[in-house]
Amino acid sequence: MAAYQQRDALSVHPQLCDFLEQQVLPKTGLDPALFWRGFAHLLKDLSPENQALLDKREQLQQHIDDYHRQHPTLAASDYKAFLESIGYLQSEPADFRIQTQNVDDEIARLAGPQLVVPINNARYALNAANARWGSLYDAAYGTDVLPETDGAEKGSQYNPVRGQKVVTWAKDWLDKIAPLTQGQHRQVTGYRIDNGQLSVSLENGDVTTLASPGQFVGFKGDASQPDAVLLQHNGLHAEIQINASHPVGRTDPAHVSDILMESALTTIMDCEDSVAAVDGEDKTLVYQNWLGLVMGDLSIKMQKDGNTLTRRLNPDRDYQTPDGKGLSLPGRSLMLIRNVGHLMRNPAITLDGEPVFEGLMDGVITSLIAKLDIMNQGQFGNSRTGSVYIVKPKMHGPEEVAFTNTLFARVEQLVDLPANTLKMGIMDEERRTSLNLKACIEAARERVIFINTGFLDRTGDEIHTSMLAGPFARKGELKQRPWIQAYEQANVLIGLKSGLSGKAQIGKGMWPMPDKMAEMMEAKIGHPKAGANTAWVPSPTAATLHALHYHQVDVFEVQKHLPDAQGLRDTLLQIPLLEQPDTLSADEVQQELDNNVQGILGYVVRWVHQGVGCSKVPDIHDVGLMEDRATLRISSQHIANWLHHGIVSQSQVEETLKRMAALVDKQNSGDPEYIAMLPEPEKSIAFQAASELIFNGKTQPSGYTEPVLHKKRLEMKQQQD
């Protein structure tokens, strides 16, 4: 490898240095020498504060651990007073309303799915950006929303029986989204435009129109024989595609070939929980993909179904309006970028021989690249209002939000962007943030564009913070306890009280079972019903299906009728401990352990050996679960907690690790890149990483998994060199 490059006080990984100097800086109009000097100053100025915030996390944790040691039985009021006394629980600020300006409609005024994607996977990232529009027919055909009964199996070839069920199901959705004055969409034999109105012929010969004619907002092709009819409902679009020569359209009475749903309004390009990026080489790929997305020239050659194709960003979609004008709708999801949190350092750049804080580096470099969007240099453009949307994860309390606010202001000066161009998405995913959410929002009142319940990290932090309070309930049960309902509810209500409606997103967390779409359709309607105008989905297909929920529920109407947050803070403080540890049977304990260990090994082995930051890992019931750093935090902290309280023993965990390693090796045997952990687990870096995450779980900062993952991945990369 070429040597690190000295730039001002910084040593920069050669790949990263070349990338910035050759591909980014020349486009920005910034003087490279001034940029490096400013970057070095920013790091010098902000690193001590960053470190002090991390030290404070540890001090508070120490106080909390001591308290639990001294108070084996908790008295709610004493516990609360203690948390106040150490400044963990702060007094709530007076009422205020956020002042964020220049926010795109997708975030401020619309309600719809938010897709998340690991940014270092270009194939997926492009797919995600294009997931603004998704085929309802494909979403139904390829998932379990329609059962594979009565001859409707998916099979390996197109099954016309299933195909017919899909068409009927999808057209029934059209009846909910845009009902007709008479009859149903499945009875339609033709759609045409007559005098600016949608004219709909039915199989009985009658001609009807939409019950709300204003829902017809555009079309493509000839008015008398349109190729596409564009409908709008609750701010979201749906396009009926008509094509008599398409295999599906050919046999359809109205020649409908598909229904295209406006799906992922926004997408988070993730540099964090779903990504493995441990050094300059990995970080360069992350930033390179972000540049390609911003400039609109990212492309990837890929194999799919035996064909080679090139995936690029989709253009906008053009229509004629009913009154003969042109209408252009965004062809791509509005992109946000999730930086990493305040914890990690990364050797991509060093200052005084020390790797710099990765969150500071992400803040600078992702904003520098996004400046190109603000300069309208990209082929397509992302924000139409001149904003850059950065999601900041894993912040603990208002001081850390204020620190991010300071960072963003410094970055704006450094890369020469107007004040408050950099907007902030606040992940409400740490206990100190949930408990002080109002003050957190206030600390970023001119920048905040979302608060989101990252319930996965939040669950990990719940366990770590109260590690010594007692053994926690089983993982599945944690979601049923009052604390989490209070957390979800308080997030929405505090967001509304702070004036987020119409200005920012109130978001809900990830659906972590990517193949369980029928269950998602049942469960995730709860999100808009709770007043959230977005919620996370793991895939484009899930985005298309979840979009249906925002047609069923008018979120902004729901938001008008929600109560004030009263008493939720006290409920948030109810730690979800096992109610009667002695009543757990040995089998139940082992089952819980097997499940956690399998998830840990299945995820960690791909992370450490192959650098894959997000995986679908089967649980012990063979349900594929989305696993990322946050789910790993839960599983590893859960076992660490049970070990500490003697629910499981060290030897039991060791035996389980070896048994589950055999299973995980077997599950991955079809992957030619896979490196097995057995027969010599003591020599397997991934196996060691998993063991360390568990056995040293109590001492990991806030229970985070990144320190061990990064260390072990770096070790693996060195071994492979």
Binding site for ligand O=CC(=O)O (CB under 6 A): 273, 393, 427, 429, 454-457, 509-510, 630
Candidates 152-160, 399-407, 535-543, 597-605: pick the segment binding ligand ACO (CB under 6 A).
Answer: 535-543
Q: Cα separations (Å) of 443 from 93, 463, 565?
A: 10, 26, 20
**Which residues, 6 or more positions from 700, have their beta carbon under 8 angstroms from its beta carbon?**
464, 636, 693, 707, 708
Q: Is 454 annotated as a binding residue?
A: yes
Residue 719: helix, strand or coil by DSSP?
A: helix
Which residues sit opposite 218 in a β-bridge? 230
Q: Cα separations (Å) of 337 from 110, 272, 331, 392, 493?
A: 19, 10, 18, 9, 25
Residue 282: active-site member: no
CB-side neighbour CA atoms (13 Å) of 655: 6
CB-side neighbour CA atoms (13 Å) of 117: 31
Nearer to ligand ACO, 456 or 608 (CB): 456
**Smallest separation, CB 341 to ligand O=CC(=O)O (Å):** 10
Residues 607-626 that bind ligand ACO (CB under 6 A): 614-616, 626
- The tokens for 575 are 């730690």
What x-and-dash track marks residues 260-279 binding Mg ion by CB under 5 A? -------------x------
CB-side neighbour CA atoms (13 Å) of 48: 3
- The tokens for 467 are 């590690």
Residue 527 CA, chain-centre distance (Å), reads: 15
Q: For helices 358-374 and 280-295, what crossing angle results, to 10°?
A: 20
Q: Is 11 annotated as a binding residue?
A: no
From the list ligand O=CC(=O)O, Mg ion, ligand ACO, none, partner contacted by residue 717 (C-beta under 5 to 8 A by kind): none
Q: Which contacts qualify for 666-670: CB closer than 8 Å, 24 or more apart?
A: 667/602, 667/618, 668/605, 668/606
**Which residues, 6 or more positions from 222, have their beta carbon under 8 angstroms from its beta carbon?**
none
- The tokens for 656 are 């389980």
Residues 672-701 that bind ligand ACO (CB under 6 A): none
**611 contacts Mg ion (rule: CB under 5 A):** no
From the list ligand O=CC(=O)O, Mg ion, ligand ACO, none, partner contacted by residue 115 (C-beta under 5 to 8 A by kind): ligand ACO
Residue 628: active-site member: yes
**Which residues, 6 or more positions from 212, have their beta carbon under 8 angstroms from its beta carbon?**
178, 179
**Of the candidate residues 226, 296, 495, 540, the single one contacting ligand ACO (CB under 6 A):** 540
Residue in the shown chain whose Cβ atom is closest to Mg ion: 457
Candidates 43-51, 345-353, 422-430, 674-682: pick the segment binding Mg ion (CB under 5 A).
Answer: 422-430
**628 contacts ligand ACO (rule: CB under 6 A):** yes
- The tokens for 541 are 């297909």
From the list ligand ACO, Mg ion, ligand O=CC(=O)O, none, partner contacted by residue 363 (C-beta under 5 to 8 A by kind): none
From the list Mg ion, ligand O=CC(=O)O, ligand ACO, none, partner contacted by residue 124 (C-beta under 5 to 8 A by kind): ligand ACO
Q: Is 79 annotated as a binding residue?
A: no
Nearer to Mg ion, 691 or 702 (CB): 702
Query: Could you give the CA distance from residue 701 to residue 559 in angstroms, rounded to a whole number?
Result: 37
Which residue from 348, 249, 313 is spatially nearest to 18, judged by alpha carbons?
Answer: 348
From the list ligand O=CC(=O)O, ligand ACO, Mg ion, none, partner contacted by residue 455 (C-beta under 5 to 8 A by kind): ligand O=CC(=O)O
- Count the neighbouring beta carbons within 10 Å of the beta carbon of residue 59: 12
Nearer to ligand ACO, 358 or 628 (CB): 628
SS (H, E, C) 90-104: CCCCCCCCCCCCCCC
Nearer to ligand O=CC(=O)O, 240 or 626 (CB): 626
Q: Is 138 annotated as a binding residue?
A: no
**Which residues, 6 or more positions from 273, have their beta carbon under 8 angstroms from its beta carbon?**
338, 393, 456, 457, 613, 614, 628, 629, 630
**123 contacts ligand ACO (rule: CB under 6 A):** yes
Candidates 118-126, 178-186, 282-290, 381-389: pick the segment binding ligand ACO (CB under 6 A).
Answer: 118-126
Q: Rounded to 5 degrees, what angle do the CA atoms 134, 135, 141 make?
A: 130
**Smallest separation, CB 300 to ligand ACO (Å):** 9
Handedness of CA 453, 456, 459, 465 (dihedral sign): negative
**346 contacts ligand ACO (rule: CB under 6 A):** no
**Smallest separation, CB 346 to ligand ACO (Å):** 19
**Of the candidate residues 118, 280, 330, 347, the single one contacting ligand ACO (CB under 6 A):** 118
Q: Which residue in 282, 362, 373, 628 is the catalytic one?
A: 628
Query: What does residue 621 show for φ and ψ, rounded to 5 degrees?
Result: -95, 10
**Which residues, 6 or more positions from 543, have their beta carbon under 8 angstroms from its beta carbon?**
113, 115, 131, 134, 263, 264, 537
Query: Could you give the CA distance from residue 167 to residue 186 in angstroms, rounded to a whole number?
Result: 8
User: Which burial class, exposed, middle or buried, applies to 221 when counting CB atoms under 10 A from its CB (0-12, 13-18, 19+)?
Assistant: middle
- Count the neighbouring beta carbons within 10 Å of the beta carbon of residue 343: 20
Q: Is 141 annotated as a binding residue?
A: no
Q: Is 175 annotated as a binding residue?
A: no
Query: What does residue 110 show for φ and ψ, rounded to 5 degrees?
Result: -115, 160
Give the count of residues interacting with ligand ACO (CB under 6 A): 25
- The tokens for 76 are 């709610």
Nearer to Mg ion, 263 or 459 (CB): 459
Q: Rounded to 10 degrees, what is the CA torsion of 683, 689, 694, 698?
A: 130
**636 contacts ligand ACO (rule: CB under 6 A):** no
**Smallest separation, CB 511 to Mg ion (Å):** 14
**Smallest separation, CB 509 to ligand O=CC(=O)O (Å):** 5
- What residue has token string 């019931």? 621
Which residue from 591, 652, 602 is spatially nearest to 625, judged by alpha carbons?
Answer: 602
From the list ligand O=CC(=O)O, ligand ACO, Mg ion, none, partner contacted by residue 469 (C-beta under 5 to 8 A by kind): none
**Smallest separation, CB 628 to ligand O=CC(=O)O (Å):** 8
Q: Is 46 annotated as a binding residue?
A: no
Q: Is 124 annotated as a binding residue?
A: yes
Q: Is 123 annotated as a binding residue?
A: yes
**127 contacts ligand ACO (rule: CB under 6 A):** yes
Q: Is 95 annotated as a binding residue?
A: no
What x-and-dash track marks residues 441-460 binding Mg ion by CB under 5 A? -------------x--x---
Candidates 191-199, 300-308, 418-426, 624-632: pick the segment binding Mg ion (CB under 5 A).
Answer: 624-632
What x-and-dash track marks residues 254-293 binding ligand ACO by CB under 6 A? ----------------x--xx-------------------
Residue 85 CA, chain-centre distance (Å), reads: 35
Candidates 119-127, 143-151, 277-285, 409-417: pick the segment binding ligand ACO (CB under 6 A).
Answer: 119-127
Nearer to ligand ACO, 414 or 693 (CB): 693
From the list Mg ion, ligand ACO, ligand O=CC(=O)O, none, partner contacted by residue 514 (C-beta under 5 to 8 A by kind): ligand ACO
Query: Could you give the CA distance from residue 571 to residue 121 in angstroms, rounded to a whole number?
Result: 40
Residues 403-442 that bind ligand ACO (CB under 6 A): none
**395 contacts ligand ACO (rule: CB under 6 A):** no
Binding residues for acetyl-CoA: 116, 123-124, 274, 311, 538
Residues at the site binding ligand ACO, with contacts judged by CB under 6 A: 115-118, 123-124, 127-128, 270, 273-274, 304, 454, 456, 510, 514, 538-540, 614-616, 626, 628, 630
Residue positions annotated with a catalytic role? 338, 628
Binding residues for glyoxylate: 338, 429, 454-457
Residues at the site binding Mg ion, with contacts judged by CB under 5 A: 273, 429, 454, 457, 630
Binding residues: 116, 123-124, 274, 311, 338, 429, 454-457, 538
